Structure 1
Amino acid sequence: DMMAAAHAAFPAVGDEASALRAALPPRWPGYHLVILAGGRVSLHLHYGDAGDILPTLDIYADCWFLDGFAPARNPSLWTPGLLSQIGRLTADGGSFASFTAAGDVRRGLQDAGFDVHKAAGFGRKRDMIRGSMRRSAAAAEGSKKQDASHPSHTHRFNPPGRVAIIGAGIAGASVAAGLARRGAEPLLIDSASVPASAASGNRAALQSPRLSVDHNAMSRLSASCLSFAARAADAAGATIAAGVLALDAPDRMAARHAIFRQQSWPDSLLRDAAAMQPAPPGMDGEAAGIFFEYGRAIQPAVLVGMLAGPAEFVGDFAVTSIARTAEGLTLGAADGRHLTVDAVVLSGGASVGPLLQQIDAGMPVEVTRGQVSHVPATPLSAALDMGVSFGGYLTPPVGGLHELGATFSRDLNAEIDDAAAHAHNVNLLPAGLLPNLDAGSAENLGLRTSYRASLADRRPAMGRVKDDIWMLGGLGARGFTLAPLLGDVLAAAILGRPTPLARDQMAGIHAARYLPE
């Protein structure tokens, strides 16, 4: 309401202001990405104390607008330490402007490396200040060295134009969307004839965060990913139901949930499900657990289709080789075809491991086989209006069928046994759900088998693995939560744009952690 009242003073941009307010993410601490104006504007929001946030970033800003009320009213936003961080994060030749002309601020910005000048103010402001970054020869040389390995200065980096993305599931589609909206030419390549044919091809999926008991960087990143993924699913029309109920089952989850309830998460991220009385439709008894308001049950094909839409799709192209040639990187297919591009992204889930080996960048990729059951909805279960997780998961019905999953098998050579897999999935169901389902037998239920890839530390791997070869993989069973944001962040890195995740988050997921120094 306060923002709407402020925007009312500028009716000429009323439509843009309304779109901004509608797109704002939940106010969870940390990073949130908001895409506006049909993809032409990226708003990077960090909710929290600027003095805590800026030291964690490694970006280069071309200009700053510094406005945080007068220093006397908000002194913590004008400290020498914070102004020093602004200087650290400013690109060569970068500029600033501020309505604040206080002497302490001028001197702090000068100490941070800016040439500072007074200028005429606006309205009741008699004076303002503005200036640009000056660099010493040593600082400029250090900046150039940093750019060589971490190209964040767009004016010094020649980004690739044509980028092949190997794997047309949720990871590849997310990278493609990020590249396309920044003006690159993504090619989605897959061994299948259509996108979302492998692990991203299930009828339904859940989006929910993977929080940690120690509230660590990966936990905070997971929340940021959920914020973006849920909004992406809603925008694509992929959402079946809003909200995911994580039951206190099995017992190990109950212990974790007890810790999560004590953490400082806003209610809009998670709240105790005990407040959900009576039990949600389609469930019997108490709903003991935690509820993720921004969790989603989604249709994967719809979300992947929206993200992949701007990219050229090359199907039935099973990549077996990647070779550097005078023209760029040449991909060889099993049928003898070749395709040459400027850069390559490996995002094919279970197929990433062999390609990493092929380019001498092997990682401990673990592939597991998973099977989901498709269970007919009953009059009782059809009322389920949220996703439910309990060690396994259950979605609201799509086309009259719930998705119930899933198995995890590390023995890829074992014979696929649909009956045993279905029995496993049914046995995961807690007592409050089982009576309302017609779980039946595996016969005629159309179990679906796919393969997931994860890494030894159970964290994603994102980043450059060789010159002009990048990857997004190891997403495990949370691809639809993690990939939309991480794919966009990777696209920004490939094109030399800002990647405003916190330093510990970037380090925790960077592919370089598995590569020789």
Structure 2
Amino acid sequence: MTARAVVTPAEVDFSEPAAPASPAFGDVYHSRAGAQAQSRHVFVAGNGLPGRWQGRERFVVLETGFGLGNNFLATWDAWRQDPARCERLVFVSVEKHPLRRDDLTRAHAASELPELAAQLIERWPPLTAGLHTLSFEGGRVELLLGLGDARELLRELVLEADAICLDGFAPKLNPELWDDWLLKSLSRHARPGTTLATWSIHRPMRRTLTALGFGVALAQGFANKPEMTVARFAPRHLLQRPAGREALAPGAKRAVILGAGLAGAACAWALSRQGVACTVVDALPGPAHASSGNPAGLFHGTVNPDDGPHARFNRAASLATQSLLAELGLPHQRGLLRLETRLALAQMLEAPGYVQPLSADEASARAGTALGHPAWFYPGGGAVDPAAYVRAMLAASAAKLMLNTPVAALRECPGCWQLLAADGHLIDEVTLVVLAGGHGQLSLLSDLGPLADDLVVQRGQLTHLADAPWQPGVPVAGDGYAIADGRGGAWCGATAQDGDLDPDLREADQADNLARYARLAGLAEAPQAPLAGRVAWRLVAPDRMPLIGGLAAPGPLAAQLRLQPRRPGLVVCTGFASRGIGWAALAGRLVAALALGAPRPLEAELLDAIDPQRFALRRQRRSGS
């Protein structure tokens, strides 16, 4: 992995328990007078909380310097204690050098908020670069934790903050967290009325904040500091927000989701967490009857040398899946090996908790057979029954199901969308529609623009071995995959044929799957087995990334995705290819955030990489129009 993917953990000096310190920066993490007392005085009260969030649907706090997490814990505790609190609290924080889990545990050994600290430690993510969503209080409190350089992450965040906590080590010791460039980046996430608080009274900082449109004042400081800085954003001129980043259905209280598979169920789960009542509509007689009906499937991240968009998106998605499966309490096979023949694993860096390189012997020991290659081991990856996953998400969402209900057309009306049957009958009318039905919705997509032209329907056949000569100790992927079925057999596959609509099991495809199985297992020849398995179809984009976002409003396309106005009340969530299990959890969160305007759980560059309009924009650029 590149330096971009690697996060360097903090080294913490605990020799003085009352004031843990950073040897690298030569400063303490919090005042010796008390971590929680400082957080409550400077950052909670300094931002006018809890009063400012009362009566609000959502309140967003943006912090520079997560450190030990005391500001988050203090804010969460204040939210808990306030009977008039906002419905949802989103705390967004960036940290270049996060603590290892063991150090975080040590830092909070004598916490004033032991219950909250324990939950934070339990959900502490692997220290990989990018945004991590940690959910608490049934999703009503979220910590969006960005690991990496603040100067890069602030540029990539998509959010509007209601309050800002400026909390790095002292400006003389850590100037990058206080300079003009960073403060300007922060101001781009502010809106009129956004407050800011910090323990520092650094004069250059105050001058810059004033120049950026903040009204700056000094307030009573904490403990031995006589003063601190507070500010409120009141710019003379408002910056125009990118049209492509506006909420698609702000304030929506009900949504109709077309598709009762992995994508649709995940969208229902995520939207319900944001207080949206969901109806899931499907033409088939039950959930997970199409592509999501396979009996087993894999989920895992990916690694590549440049840590490009595919690797970063799949890493975020895999970690989101791991978190959701744990929250749902859904049984599944944990751990996954992916054989690697192209990269010299010994020269690659591992990311503890996410991926580790194993030699061929180490991988063989985990797989229970002699593997011919080294492998990446994903401890948080694995395999799960997709249909069980769909049912669990739908149950958690309390969504209403409308099955055996084909939708023939969508009609846009002022402020709503109408769902029409083939005979023109009105099925429903709603302010927010999510298209999450995979290849079965190509005709609907075609009616809404040229998006369907960029997608391919791909047939896949997987094979079941009832009596398998090798049942891997953990799921194994590489040239194909193998998953033990827990009953002495194994699932293996899968084929991929573009544009092939044949629904019947084929001997030739089974032979191909069994040959892959034999190569993975190190068998001299492929086993023989009666024809058994399943055929399903995937919807695949040319770049093998999903399509999640809004569709272009009528009219000429803008020159940039972020400037493109979108059709209100409509979100697309499709093109999951063979990664439906691994992408669903993150996709659902993205749909909810895009629809309602919540902080996006993914960086702006990756939002562009999965934007449904990306292919149309590329064609426009190639044509020079």
Is 1:290 aligned to residue 391 of structure 2? no
Change (3 A) 1:431 1:376: same
1:474-513 Cα offsets, whole Å, 9 max, x none, are 1100111122112201211101212142221111111122
State the 1:239 CA deviation. 4.5
Structure 1 CA distance for aligned equivalents of residues 264 and 525 of structure 2: 35
1:310-354 Cα offsets, whole Å, 9 max, x none, are 122111111111113467312123475612221211111112321
- Partner of 1:276, secondary structure, is helix
The aligned counterpart of 1:4 is 105
2:577 paired residue among 472, 476, 479: 476
Structure 2 CA distance for aligned equivalents of residues 149 and 240 of structure 1: 38
State the 1:385 CA deviation. 2.8
State the 1:184 CA deviation. 0.9
- Partner of 2:169, secondary structure, is coil
- Partner of 1:38, secondary structure, is helix
Instruction: Verify the 8 A CA contact 2:364 2:370 in the aligned structure 1.
Output: no
1:241 paired residue among 305, 330, 333: 333
State the 1:472 CA deviation. 0.8
Amino acid at match of 2:232: S
- Partner of 1:119, secondary structure, is strand
The aligned counterpart of 1:345 is 434
Instruction: Verify the 8 A CA contact 2:154 2:185 in the aligned structure 1.
Output: yes
Instruction: Verify the 8 A CA contact 1:238 1:300 in the aligned structure 2.
Output: no
Amino acid at match of 1:242: R
2:256 paired residue among 150, 161, 164: 164
Amino acid at match of 2:369: M
State the 1:413 CA deviation. 4.2
The aligned counterpart of 1:488 is 589
Change (3 A) 1:246 1:504: same
State the 1:423 CA deviation. 0.9
1:102-149 Cα offsets, whole Å, 9 max, x none, are 223222322332211111122333322111112113xx2x33xx2755
- Partner of 1:279, secondary structure, is helix
Amino acid at match of 1:296: G
- Partner of 2:418, secondary structure, is strand
Is 1:131 aligned to residue 216 of structure 2? no
Instruction: Verify the 8 A CA contact 1:418 1:442 in the aligned structure 2.
Output: no
1:268 paired residue among 328, 341, 353: 353
Is 1:215 aligned to residue 303 of structure 2? no
**1:80-91 matches, cutoff 5 A:** 80-91=180-191
- Partner of 1:295, secondary structure, is strand
Structure 1 CA distance for aligned equivalents of residues 525 and 142 of structure 2: 44
Moved more, 27-36 or 238-247: 238-247
Consecutive unaligned residues of structure 1, counting only runs of 5 or more, are 249-253
The aligned counterpart of 1:122 is 222
**1:336-415 matches, cutoff 5 A:** 336=425, 338-363=427-452, 364-378=454-468, 381-382=470-471, 384-414=472-502
Change (3 A) 1:377 1:397: farther
Amino acid at match of 1:39: G
State the 1:393 CA deviation. 0.8
State the 1:468 CA deviation. 1.7
1:141-166 Cα offsets, whole Å, 9 max, x none, are x33xx2755325x9xx7422221111
1:332 paired residue among 414, 417, 420: 420
Structure 1 CA distance for aligned equivalents of residues 138 and 145 of structure 2: 18
- Partner of 1:412, secondary structure, is coil
1:251-274 Cα offsets, whole Å, 9 max, x none, are xxx22x33x765555243333220
Instruction: Verify the 8 A CA contact 1:203 1:398 in the aligned structure 2.
Output: no
1:460 paired residue among 538, 546, 571: 546
Consecutive unaligned residues of structure 2, counting only runs of 5 or more, are 1-101, 552-566, 621-625
Amino acid at match of 2:191: A
2:513 paired residue among 414, 425, 440: 425
The aligned counterpart of 2:171 is 71
Structure 2 CA distance for aligned equivalents of residues 436 and 312 of structure 1: 51
The aligned counterpart of 1:229 is 321
State the 1:28 CA deviation. 0.5
Change (3 A) 1:477 1:432: closer
Change (3 A) 1:69 1:315: same
Amino acid at match of 2:546: P
Instruction: Verify the 8 A CA contact 1:471 1:511 in the aligned structure 2.
Output: yes
Amino acid at match of 2:490: H
- Partner of 1:470, secondary structure, is strand
- Partner of 2:576, secondary structure, is coil
Change (3 A) 1:370 1:184: same
1:111 paired residue among 211, 221, 225: 211
Change (3 A) 1:16 1:9: same
The aligned counterpart of 2:556 is none
State the 1:287 CA deviation. 4.9
**1:192-207 matches, cutoff 5 A:** 192-207=284-299
State the 1:430 CA deviation. 4.4
State the 1:63 CA deviation. 0.7
Structure 2 CA distance for aligned equivalents of residues 431 and 512 of structure 1: 40
The aligned counterpart of 1:251 is none
Amino acid at match of 1:512: Q
Change (3 A) 1:72 1:413: closer
- Partner of 1:491, secondary structure, is helix
1:188-220 Cα offsets, whole Å, 9 max, x none, are 111122211111111111111244443212321
Moved more, 498-507 or 82-91: 498-507
State the 1:235 CA deviation. 2.7
Structure 2 CA distance for aligned equivalents of residues 261 and 187 of structure 1: 50
Structure 2 CA distance for aligned equivalents of residues 127 and 265 of structure 1: 44
Question: RCO greater where, 1 or 2, for CA within 8 Å and sep 6 or more?
Answer: 1
The aligned counterpart of 1:505 is 606
Structure 2 CA distance for aligned equivalents of residues 225 and 18 of structure 1: 25
State the 1:400 CA deviation. 4.3
The aligned counterpart of 1:320 is 408
Change (3 A) 1:147 1:231: same
**Number of residue pairs matched by the alignment:** 497
Amino acid at match of 1:100: S
Amino acid at match of 1:268: G
Structure 2 CA distance for aligned equivalents of residues 353 and 432 of structure 1: 36
1:50-97 Cα offsets, whole Å, 9 max, x none, are 112112223211111111122123222112111111111112211111
Instruction: Verify the 8 A CA contact 2:206 2:216 in the aligned structure 1.
Output: yes
Structure 2 CA distance for aligned equivalents of residues 147 and 506 of structure 1: 13
Matched-pair identity in %: 28
Structure 1 CA distance for aligned equivalents of residues 357 and 597 of structure 2: 42
Change (3 A) 1:245 1:20: same
Q: TM-score, normalised by structure 1?
A: 0.89
The aligned counterpart of 2:192 is 92
